[in-house]
């Protein structure tokens, strides 16, 4: 359908390239044998403020330069990458079609259905679809997932890759990519998380995304404005620092002694309160009344002790996401650094897994 498909990568070596509002993250995986992956290499490169705003590329040169630096530091020879669009930039819809349609018939059916759900002319969007399987209610019908995004959203990210000397061969959706990596985390839970409700809480620089999953199916999604930038701004205000300096001090652990008690602890309390509120929204708007596990991901999940604070507030078992826990590591990857960075690499890991899709 399109040169870049949301759903079907060509089988060729590729790495995952996640561009968030605060950093460029890359992960390259290889086949580790026996159905397991091995992490070959990864890189994280901070992004200048406002180069990405609300998921949109606002400064192509700055973002492309950060991608180029990350790629160089990662030291791969692979130039093919899988990228993702923010979930807010993609309209997804499940539709039911007659089972057994030929490809051309299916495309026509999808396009006619898409016209009803997409508020743009079809020539302004990239449209893709995937047959999920038979309809749960009728074996003569099939469930199909449609994904559509404005063409310029896709083109902006492709242009960033090209300006950095790379080629995007897959365009995914951030929420799907993180769910792909989440399945690796889920295996670490009791009974592999089967028949349990798990809240995946991804706290980035500006936004907290909460996805409740049961048996790998999302049953609830919520996005709210809360993130690590609030802590950075408090540091700037308290210690008279500029944004870059505050961010570096926060990451490097070089802040004054009173930082933990006066700034970090209140921030973690606020984060735990936001998670607790999200769970309350989940309970009041669905049939569910409990969550079995909380999995924390994103840049804020790397803060030491965040899992304990969230567990204390919510009274729910809370772990920090590490999709690489059961993977072999190449000699290039330092275990200590990886365990620190792992929670912020969920989307990049999910994208890197696309090289193994058939």
pLDDT at res. 8: 54
41 and 74 in contact (C-beta within 8 Å)? yes
- Claim to verify: residue 146 and residue 288 sit in the same structural domain: no
Q: How many domains does the chain have?
A: 3
- Claim to verify: residue 78 and residue 177 sit in the same structural domain: yes
pLDDT at res. 1: 31
pLDDT at res. 211: 94
- Claim to verify: residue 59 and residue 181 sit in the same structural domain: yes
CATH number for the domain harbouring residue 235: 3.30.420.40
- Claim to verify: residue 309 and residue 198 sit in the same structural domain: yes
Segments forming the whole domain that contains residue 132: 89-150
- Claim to verify: residue 73 and residue 182 sit in the same structural domain: yes
- Claim to verify: residue 228 and residue 265 sit in the same structural domain: yes
Consecutive 10-residue runs of the chain (358 residues): their mean pLDDT?
47 87 94 87 91 86 94 95 91 88 89 84 87 87 89 92 95 91 94 96 92 92 92 95 87 89 96 97 96 96 95 97 95 94 96 83
- Claim to verify: residue 248 and residue 264 sit in the same structural domain: yes
pTM score, whole prediction: 0.89
- Claim to verify: residue 345 and residue 229 sit in the same structural domain: no
- Claim to verify: residue 97 and residue 236 sit in the same structural domain: no
- Claim to verify: residue 220 and residue 259 sit in the same structural domain: yes
pLDDT at res. 12: 67
């Amino acid at each position: 359908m399109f040169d870049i498909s949301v759903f079907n990568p060509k089988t060729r070596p590729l790495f995952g390239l996640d561009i968030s509002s605060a950093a460029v993250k890359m992960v390259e995986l290889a086949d580790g044998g026996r159905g397991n992956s091995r992490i070959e290499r990864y890189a994280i490169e901070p992004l200048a403020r406002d180069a990405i705003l609300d998921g949109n590329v606002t400064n192509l040169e700055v973002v492309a330069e950060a991608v180029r630096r990350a790629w160089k530091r990662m030291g791969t020879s692979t130039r093919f990458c899988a990228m993702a669009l923010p979930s807010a930039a993609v309209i997804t819809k499940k539709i039911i079609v007659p089972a057994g349609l030929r490809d051309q018939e299916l495309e026509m059916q999808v396009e006619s259905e898409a016209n009803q759900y997409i508020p743009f002319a079809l020539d302004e969007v990239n449209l893709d679809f995937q047959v999920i399987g038979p309809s749960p209610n009728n074996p003569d019908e099939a469930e199909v997932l449609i994904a559509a995004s404005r063409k310029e959203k896709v083109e902006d990210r492709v242009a960033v890759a090209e300006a950095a000397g790379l080629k995007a061969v897959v365009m995914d959706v951030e929420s799907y990519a993180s769910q792909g990596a989440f399945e690796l985390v889920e295996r670490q839970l009791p009974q592999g998380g089967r028949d349990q409700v798990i809240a995946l809480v991804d706290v980035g620089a500006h936004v907290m995304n909460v996805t409740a999953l049961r048996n790998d199916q999302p049953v609830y999604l919520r996005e709210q404005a809360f993130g690590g930038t609030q802590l950075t701004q408090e540091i700037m205000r308290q210690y008279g620092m500029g944004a870059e300096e505050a961010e570096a001090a926060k990451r490097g652990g070089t802040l004054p002694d009173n930082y933990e008690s006066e700034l970090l602890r209140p921030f973690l309390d606020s984060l735990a309160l936001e998670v607790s509120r999200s769970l309350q929204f989940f309970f009041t708007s669905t049939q569910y009344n409990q969550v079995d596990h909380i999995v924390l991901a994103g840049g804020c999940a790397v803060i030491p002790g965040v899992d304990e604070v969230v567990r204390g507030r919510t009274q729910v078992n809370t772990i920090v996401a590490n999709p690489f826990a059961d993977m072999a590591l190449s000699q290039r990857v330092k275990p200590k650094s990886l365990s620190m960075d792992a929670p912020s690499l969920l989307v990049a890991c999910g994208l890197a897994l696309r090289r193994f899709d058939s």
